Chains A and B, each alone.
Chain A
Amino acid sequence: MTENVQQSGAAGSSTFAGSDSRRYNYFEPAGRRATLYEDVTVDVQPDPSRHLIQGWIMSFADGMPTYGDYTTAAKCSDWHVYRSVDQEWSRTHYQRQSHIENTIKMLVDNARSDGAPGRFDAGWIKVLQDHFGALKHAEFGLGVALMKAQRDGVTQMVNNAILTNASYKLRLSQDITLYLADVGLDIEIDGDAGKKSWMEDPAWQGTRKAIEAILAATDHIEIYFAANVMFEPLIGEMFRNALIMRAGPAHNDFVTPAVVSAASDDFRRNLANTITLLKMLNGDETHGKANRELMSGWVEKYLPLCSEAASGLESVWGLADSGELDYAGNVGDARLRCKDILTEIGVGLPAGMTL
C-alpha cells in the first residue's frame, strides 16, 4: 500500500503538468483577459449547447426542459456572448445598493433634523403625497415584472442582468415608500393617498395600464424591452427627472430630488445593459431581421400604452408647475430619448407611428 504523501498545498511548491493552469479556461473572455465578473458568472447556468452533455435532466409535463430558448420569441445564434455593461456581480451589487441606502439615510436624516420638510410648499406636499406616492407603485410593478423575468434567460449573464435590474427597481419603490412615511412624521402626509391615486385617479390609469401590460407579459426579453426601452424613457425617467427633480427645488424641496436621483444612475446602467443585449440580438446574422421585427411589434404594443400614460400625467404637471415646468417639452424630449434608443438598437417604428 502506498502511504499518503506529505506535501505543501501552496502554489508553486511543485512543478508538474498543469501546475500553472491558473485561469478558468472553458469560456472565451470578451476582452483580452477574463474580468472578475466573467469568472464568477459565465457558464454557472449550464447549457446543452455548451458543456451540458446529458442535457437538462428534468422537464415540465409538456416536455419543455428546465431552461430553453422557448421562453422568448427572440432568437440568438449564441446567447452566451452577452456580457452586462455594468459587470455587476453580488459584491458590486451590494456595494452600490448599500451606498445608495446609506446616502439616502444620511440625506433624509440631516434634512429632517434641519426641519427641511416643514418648509416644503403646501401644494407640493400634496403632489408628493398623491403623485410621487403613486409613482412608487409603478416602480414596484416593474420590479416585480423583472423579478419574474430573471427565471427564464438561457444564460447566467442575461438572467443576472435582469435580476439586478429587478433589485434596483424594488429598492427604489421601497425608498420612495419609506421616505414618504419618514417625512410624514414631520409634516402631514397621508400614506394611503398614493395608492388611492394609483388605483383611482384618472391621471394614473394610463400608467397603471402600461405597467399591468408589462406584468402580464410572459416573455422575459419582452419584459426587459418594455421596461427599459419603452416605459422608463417615456414615463419613469420623465416623471422622476423632468417633474420631481426639476419642480422640487422651486417648491423649497431639495430632499425629494436627491432621494430619487439614484434612480437616474440605476436606469443609465440598466439601459446600457439592455441596449447591449438587444443590439446583440438585432445584429445577429441569422436572426437579426426577425428580432428587429419582433421588437417593432413590441413598440406597436407598448408605445400607445405609454403615450396614453403620458397624456394622463399632464394634469400632474399642471399641479406642480410654478413656471419652471414644460410638459409638452418634457414629453417631446422623452419621445426623442426613446427614439434614440430604438435607433441605437436598430428597431424601426411600426407603420403609422411616430415618436
Chain B
Amino acid sequence: MAADLSLSKIVKQKSISVTEATQRIADLGWAPDYFEEILKYPTDYKVEKAPKDPMKQVLRSYFPMQEEKDNRVYGALDAALRGDMFRNVEPRWIEWQKLFLAIIPFPEISAARSMAIQGQIAPGENLRTGFTMQMIDEFRHSTIQMNLKKWYMENYVDPAGFDITEAAFGKCYATTIGRQFGEGFITGDAVTSTNVYLQVVAETAFTNTLFVAMPSEAARNGDYALPTIFLSVQSDESRHIGNGHSFLMSIVKEPENLDLLERDLRYAFWQNHAIVDAAIGTIIEYGTQDRDKNKESYAELWHRWVFDDYYRTYLLPLEKYGVKIHHEDVEEAWNRIVKKNYVHKVAQFFSFGWPVAFWRIDGMVEKDFDWFEAKYPGWYNEFGTYWENYGKASLPNQPPLMYLDSGYVYPHRCWSCNVPALIREDFCVDEVEGELYTYCSELCRWTHKVAFAGEYNGRPTPAMGRFSGRRQWEELYHGWDLADVVKDLGFVRSDGHTVIQQPHLHMEDSKMWTLDHFKGLEVRSPLVDLRAMSPADREKHIAEYQAGFTCKPI
C-alpha cells in the first residue's frame, strides 16, 4: 500500500474538467413529450439555434465567489464609517445619489426578470447557467443598492429624500426617465427587450459610464462607499455582456432577423444614449465639487467607452453578418453631447425643476464655471447667466426661479425617451393614432411611431410593445397649485411644512423653502396646452420653441 503513496497523490484530487461539467449541466434539459410549453413572451425574431456558453459557467464556483465579493463590499462600508467618511464627503454629491439610487434598483431587478424571459426563448440549455447567474446577480445589484442608500440615509447629514426613496421613484418628474429604462427590459418583443435593449446595448455599451465613471467621481468627492459597491456590480457585467453576445450570435445569422436587429439597435442605442447620458452625465459633471482640469470630462469618457470600445469594436463588426449599423446615429449622439450641450441642458432642466425634485440641487459657482469653460468652450455664454440666476434665487426671498422672468422656457417632454426636448432646434411633433405627441429628436419620433408598432417594413410585428400610461409627468398636475402638487408627491419633511428639495445645501431651517413659498404658483403641462391650441397657434408655438430662448439676469 505504501508503495504508491506519493505526495502528489495525497494532495491532489482529480475533479472533472469545467468543460465536462458544463456539458453535463447543459444536458439537464430535454425536449418535452407530454405537455407543450407555451411561449409566454413571444418574439417576432426567428430564434432556432442554441446559444453557446464560451464562459463555461457553473453554480458551484459562482456562489462562493459572489459571497466573497459581498464580504468585501460590506467590509468596505464598515471601514468607511470607521474612517469617518461622512465628515469629508461632499453634500453636493450625496444629494444626487438620492435621485440616482432611487432610479437604479428597479432597472436592476427588471434585468433579473428579463432572464426569466430570455431563459425561456433561448433554445437548448447551454446558456441556462449564464442566465441563472445573471438573474441572481441582478437580484444582488438591486438589494446592494437599496442597502447603500439605507446606509447613506443613516449616516449622511440630510436623510430627507432617502427616507421616501421608492415612493419618490414612483412619483418624481425625473425618475420616470429611469422607469422607461427598466420597463424596456421586460416588456414587448422578448428578443428586443432582453437581448438587444438590455444586454447588447444597456450592458455592453453603457454600464461603464454607470458603474465605472460614477465610482471615480464619487471618490473625488470623498465617497469611498459607492466605488466599492459599483465596481463590485460592474464585475458581474462582463458575464452579462457575454450572455448577450452569445445570444446575439445565435440569431444574427438568420437573414429574416436582420431588419428587426437594425430596428432594435437603433431604438436601443438612441434611447440608452438619451436616458443614461442625461442622468449620468448630469450627476458626474454637476454633482461633483472636483474641478481638476486634468480629469476627463463626460464627453471624453463617452468617446472612449461608447465610441471606441462599443461602436468601433462591438457594433461595427456586426456589419459582416449583414446587420445595418446606423453610423449617423452614433455620430448624432456624439454631436448632442459635444456640440448641442445635451448634458448641460439636462442639468439645467433638472435644476430649473427643483421645486418638484426630492433632493437638493446645488448651484454652479465661479469655480465650476471655469472648469466647464475649459472643458466645453462657450459654456459660460450659454449657461452662465442661467446659473447666476439660479444662485440669486436659491433662498426663499422670492418665488422659485421657475416662476421668475428669467428667459428660460419650461420644456416639452419627449414621449419616447421621457427626457424633455432640450435641444430646442431638434424638437418635433407627430400624430400617432390620431393623437399629437412631442419628441426631443427625429429618432425618438421614429421610435414611437415606427419602431413600436404592429408592423415594421411591411411585415407584421405582433410581439412588439407599445408606449403607454401617463408618460408625460406634467399632465398629472396640469392646473394644480405647486404647494398641492408637492404635498401630493409627499416631498415634505417630517415637520409637515418644510419641503425636502432645496436649491442649495444650507442645513438650517431659516434658509429652507416651505410649502408656504409654493402657494399660488401654478403647474402646467406644455403638452396639454399644445394640444389645446389651434393649428395656426400650434405652428407658431413650435417655431418659437425651436428658435430657442435666451436667459437674462433676474
Contact = CB atoms under 8 A, between A and B. Distances in A.
Given A23-B163, A97-B63, A44 B105 contact: yes
B113 A151 contact: yes
B186 A66 contact: yes
Nearest to A26: B167
Interface string B100-134: 00000110010011011101100000001101100
A41 interface: yes
A130 B246 CA distance: 33
B89 A101 contact: no
A95 B67 contact: yes
Contacts of B168: 51
Interface stretch (B280-288, B346-354, B400-408, B507-515): B507-515
Contact of A9 (B35, B91, B120, B473): B91
B143 A40 contact: yes
B74 interface: yes
B425 to A, nearest CB: 27
B143 to A, nearest CB: 4
Given A94-B140, A150-B112, A44 B106 contact: yes
B155 to A, nearest CB: 5
Interface stretch (A52-60, A269-277, A285-293): A52-60
A182 to B, nearest CB: 6
Nearest to A149: B116
B217 to A, nearest CB: 16
B150 interface: yes
A43 interface: yes
Contacts of B395: 2
A354 interface: no
B506 A182 contact: no
Contacts of B67: 94-95, 97-98
Interface string B191-216: 00000000000000000000000000
A93 interface: yes
Nearest to B180: A57
A252 interface: no
A63 B468 contact: yes
A273 to B, nearest CB: 15
Contacts of A44: 105-106, 109, 142, 146, 166
B179 interface: yes
A170 interface: yes
B116 A212 contact: no
Given A22-B163, A170-B59, A10 B84 contact: yes
Nearest to B69: A94
Contact of A54 (B15, B109, B471, B512): B471
Contact of B63 (A101, A144, A163): A101
Interface in A1-24: 1-5, 7-14, 16-24
B278 interface: no
Contact of B115 (A40, A137, A147): A147
Contacts of A50: 167, 170
Contact of B188 (A4, A60, A171): A60
A351 interface: no
A50 B498 CA distance: 24
Which of A21, A101, A195 has the most chain B CB within a 10 Å cutoff? A21
Contact of A17 (B35, B70, B497): B497
Given A182-B16, A185-B14, A17 B509 contact: yes
Given A209-B35, A216-B35, A9 B86 contact: yes
Contacts of B441: none
B507 A14 contact: yes
A312 interface: no
Contacts of A212: 32-35
Which of A22, A56, A57, A181 has the most chain B CB within a 10 Å cutoff? A57
Contacts, number: 360
B271 to A, nearest CB: 11
B470 A54 contact: yes
A136 interface: yes
A177 B365 CA distance: 63
B305 to A, nearest CB: 27
Interface string B389-415: 001101100000000000000000000
A46 B170 contact: yes
Interface string A145-161: 00111111000100110
B199 to A, nearest CB: 16
Contact of B468 (A3, A56, A148, A171): A56
B226 interface: no
Interface string B349-391: 0000000000000110100000000000000000000001001
Nearest to A104: B60
Nearest to B148: A40
B156 A18 contact: no
B183 A61 contact: no
A103 B236 CA distance: 25
B505 interface: yes
Contacts of A216: 32, 35-38
A45 B64 contact: no
Contacts of A199: 30
Given A58-B466, A97-B63, A177 B509 contact: no
Contacts of A152: 116
Contact of B74 (A66, A91, A147, A160): A91
Nearest to B153: A22
B483 interface: no
A3 B16 CA distance: 66
Interface stretch (A105-113, A317-325, A330-338): A105-113
Which of A9, A90, A191, A195 has the most chain B CB within a 10 Å cutoff? A9
Nearest to B505: A5
B363 A2 contact: yes
Nearest to A52: B170
Contacts of A185: 14-16
A218 interface: yes
A112 B239 CA distance: 32
A175 B92 CA distance: 49
A263 B396 CA distance: 62
Contact of B157 (A13, A39, A57, A63): A13
Given A59-B468, A113-B13, A147 B135 contact: yes
A18 B497 CA distance: 10
Contacts of A170: 59, 128-129, 132
A57 B505 contact: no
A65 to B, nearest CB: 7
B167 A22 contact: no
A14 B157 contact: yes
Given A91-B70, A97-B63, A101-B64, 8 more contacts: A36-B147, A46-B166, A58-B183, A58-B469, A140-B29, A151-B113, A167-B136, A185-B16
15 contacts: A9-B94, A24-B163, A36-B147, A55-B469, A56-B183, A58-B188, A59-B187, A94-B70, A102-B64, A163-B136, A163-B139, A171-B59, A171-B63, A209-B34, A212-B34
